């Protein structure tokens, strides 16, 4: 068991958090290890217990701007709306774990989330056939999800119209006057098979004919956050993140 863990730890050292960057830091790792081991009074370190972390030597804390800002954006909008119950479809589980401390949250995902946490209920569900009646959800979110639908990445069936069908299903379950908080990659329109699709900001609006845009914010190609912008402000992006607050008419 120790040998298996050791092999796993060494493999992960060259993959996470930045693939292959660990190779450059391997000499420093051994230097630090030998210096530590020679320190007077230090505890004995077994070679089988080594767990190298080689990608964390950086001047700034690394993060994914899309996921960092979209979670913050959603949480603030939910707080301002004073929502008491919220439904999320497939967003980042880290975002949902924190959001559930703020509002009673029902999380629906194609791959069920097996956790136990106060304020959070998780069920299995397919975004193309959600287990809710028409116009039954007052507050709904779906962050960085619909761009994947139909590409098979998560075990879902291949369907070139997957994203379009997902938008129709989201609109179906939102109540009149209800809110939908959506994010997805924006920029030059394309399919990056099988990772995701990228939509032009204006094209996203055409996917939601039953809804009115209340607010648009975005993360640009440099990872900078722009709040309360016009959709035209995001024209020319290659791979940004659009944050759309819609309300059902």
Query: Which structural domain, as residue segments, surrounds residue 39?
Result: 2-49
Question: Quick one: 100 and 191 in the same domain?
Answer: yes
Residues 33 and 100 in one domain: no
Instruction: Check whether residue 42 and residue 143 sit in a common domain.
Output: no
Give, for all 249 residues of the chain, the pLDDT tens digit: 778 887 888 887 777 766 777 788 889 999 999 999 999 898 999 988 888 888 788 888 989 999 999 999 999 999 999 999 999 999 999 999 999 999 999 999 998 899 999 999 999 999 999 999 999 999 999 999 999 999 999 989 999 999 999 999 999 999 999 999 999 999 999 999 999 999 999 999 999 999 999 999 999 999 999 999 999 999 999 999 999 999 998
Range list of H helices, 132-242: 162-173, 201-206
**Residue 54 covered by a domain:** no
227: domain CATH number? 3.40.50.150
How far is the C-alpha of 18 from the C-alpha of 194, rounded, in Å? Answer: 21
Q: Are residues 167 and 91 in the same domain?
A: yes
Query: Do the beta carbons of residue 162 and residue 196 sit within 8 Å?
Result: no
Q: Do 18 and 80 sit in the same domain of this protein?
A: no
The reply to whether 41 and 82 lie within a common domain is no
Number of domains into which the chain is organized: 2
Whether residue 57 lies inside any domain: the answer is no
Q: What is the largest CA-CA distance in the chain?
A: 72
Q: Looking at the structure, do residues 113 and 198 belong to the same domain, yes or no?
A: yes
* 101, 167: one domain: yes
Q: How many CA atoms lie within 13 A of 180 on its CB side?
A: 28
Are residue 13 and residue 86 in the same domain, yes or no? no
From CA 149, how far away is CA 160, in angstroms rounded? 9
Looking at the structure, tell me whether residues 112 and 13 fall in a common domain: no
Asked whether residue 56 is domain-assigned, the answer is: no
State the Cα–Cα distance between residues 80 and 83, nearest whole angstrom: 8
């Amino acid at each position: 068991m120790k040998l298996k863990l050791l092999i796993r730890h060494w493999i992960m050292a060259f993959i996470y958090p930045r693939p292959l960057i660990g190779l450059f830091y391997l000499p420093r790792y051994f230097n630090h290890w030998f210096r530590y081991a020679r320190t007077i009074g230090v505890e004995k370190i077994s070679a089988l217990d080594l767990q190298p972390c080689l990608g964390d030597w950086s001047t700034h804390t690394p993060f994914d701007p899309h996921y960092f800002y979209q979670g913050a954006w959603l949480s603030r909008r939910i707080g301002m709306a004073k929502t008491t119950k919220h439904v999320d479809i497939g967003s980042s589980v880290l975002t949902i774990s924190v959001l559930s401390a703020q509002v009673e949250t029902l999380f629906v995902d194609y791959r069920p989330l097996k956790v136990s946490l106060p304020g959070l209920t998780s069920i299995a569900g397919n975004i193309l056939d959600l287990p809710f009646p028409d116009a039954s959800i007052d507050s709904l979110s779906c962050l960085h999800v619909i761009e994947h639908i139909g590409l098979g990445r998560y075990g879902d069936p291949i369907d070139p119209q997957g994203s379009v069908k997902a938008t129709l299903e989201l609109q179906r379950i939102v109540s009149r006057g209800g809110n939908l908080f959506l994010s997805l990659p924006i920029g030059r329109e394309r399919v990056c098979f099988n990772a995701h699709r990228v939509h032009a900001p204006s094209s996203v609006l055409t996917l939601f004919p039953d809804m009115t845009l209340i607010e648009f914010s975005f993360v640009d190609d440099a990872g900078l956050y722009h709040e309360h912008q016009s959709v035209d402000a995001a024209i020319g992006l290659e791979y940004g993140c659009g944050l759309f607050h819609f309300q059902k008419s």
